[in-house]
Amino acid sequence: MNSSDMIRAVDLGKAVDTALGQLTILKGIDLEIKESETVAIVGASGSGKTTLLSLLAGLDVPTRGKVFLGPYEITAMDEEERAHVRSEMVGFVFQTFQLLDSLTAIENVMLPAELKRDPDAEEKARELMARVELSHRLNHYPRQLSGGEQQRVAIARAFASSAKILFADEPTGNLDTRTGANVIDLLFDLNAEFGTTLVLVTHDERLAGRCGRSISIASGMLVPEGAGAPA
Ligand SMILES: Nc1ncnc2c1ncn2[C@@H]1O[C@H](COP(=O)(O)OP(=O)(O)O)[C@@H](O)[C@H]1O
Ligand SMILES: [Mg+2]
């Protein structure tokens, strides 16, 4: 593999068994994303974007093909090894924030770095909470925070663990337009500062336009460049 590839998928496919028979969600995806690239994955609802992101991040396993993250072939690993690579390399920002309700904001931000036994976990978390302008909310629980604040905590958490790759799945999907715009500015600012590779699923054309390039997906397949956006 080319040494500057941070993410590489080869003939990646996913099928699931349903009550109505087998459903093929992804049909042989090949892609390469280089270090520090910002890439938007766009496509209609149900086209397979979340499934693709989950496979690239090692949160789910494919039914065929391979995924490489940096030097690791995660599709050749068991769940424990994948978890290790995730904690080493990967941060996530989800549409539904996915903070742990029983932990305060700063505890949520510290958790991934603590799991890596980073002795500076708390200091880094404080810095990131300041960076997302939430120093006054360190000890609040997620339910005491607005949606925009929760997503800023999630962004702080994603960067606090020094992830090399950040996956974001419709990070503004549950936010109003203005709050969403603030969250996105923050995401791109931090991404540029940290030199993270960013893979972002979005419906939002403007948001996709801020990425270095877009990958379109329709019915579980990549739409070749120049073929136009799917309807
Ligand atoms: N575990 C599953 N079982 C059955 N169908 C699924 C499963 N996961 C996803 N799907 C279906 O696969 C398609 C793609 O889903 P998804 O990747 O979530 O699409 P997107 O994120 O582009 O909206 C959808 O039709 C969805 O209903
Ligand atoms: Mg989705």
Residues 189 and 183: their CA atoms lie apart, in Å, by 10
Please, what CATH class does the domain formed by 5-223 belong to?
alpha beta
Residue 231 has pLDDT above 70, yes or no: no
Residues 196 and 212: their CA atoms lie apart, in Å, by 13
Mean pLDDT value across residues 36-64:
96
51 lines ligand 1 (CB under 6 A): yes
Tell me the pLDDT tens digit for each residue of 96-143: 999 999 999 999 999 998 988 899 999 999 999 999 999 999 999 999
45 lines ligand 1 (CB under 6 A): yes
Decide if 127 contacts 162 (C-beta within 8 A).
no
The pLDDT value recorded for residue 128 is: 95
User: From ligand 1's centre to the CA of 50, what distance in Å?
Assistant: 7
User: From ligand 2's centre to the CA of 52, what distance in Å?
Assistant: 9
**pTM for this predicted structure:** 0.92
User: From ligand 2's centre to the CA of 170, what distance in Å?
Assistant: 7
130 lines ligand 1 (CB under 6 A): no
Sign of CA dihedral 26, 98, 114, 40: positive
Decide if 151 contacts 145 (C-beta within 8 A).
no
| Domain ranges, ordered by start, for the chain | 5-223
The pLDDT value recorded for residue 228 is: 56
Residues 16 and 161: their CA atoms lie apart, in Å, by 32
The pLDDT value recorded for residue 3 is: 60
User: From ligand 1's centre to the CA of 51, what distance in Å?
Assistant: 6
Tell me the pLDDT tens digit for each residue of 204-220: 888 899 999 999 999 99
Residue 22 has pLDDT above 90, yes or no: yes
216 lines ligand 1 (CB under 6 A): no
Burial 190-217 (b: 16+ CB within 10 A, else e): bbeebebbbbbbbebeebbebbeebbbb
Residues 127 and 7: their CA atoms lie apart, in Å, by 28
Residue 82 has pLDDT above 70, yes or no: yes
Residues 81 and 179: their CA atoms lie apart, in Å, by 37
What mean pLDDT, rounded, does the chain reach? 93
Tell me the pLDDT tens digit for each residue of 133-190: 999 999 999 999 999 999 999 999 999 988 999 999 999 999 999 999 999 999 999 9
Paired residues of 167 in beta bridges: 92, 199
The pLDDT value recorded for residue 229 is: 52
User: From ligand 2's centre to the CA of 130, what distance in Å?
Assistant: 30
22 lines ligand 1 (CB under 6 A): no
202 lines ligand 1 (CB under 6 A): no
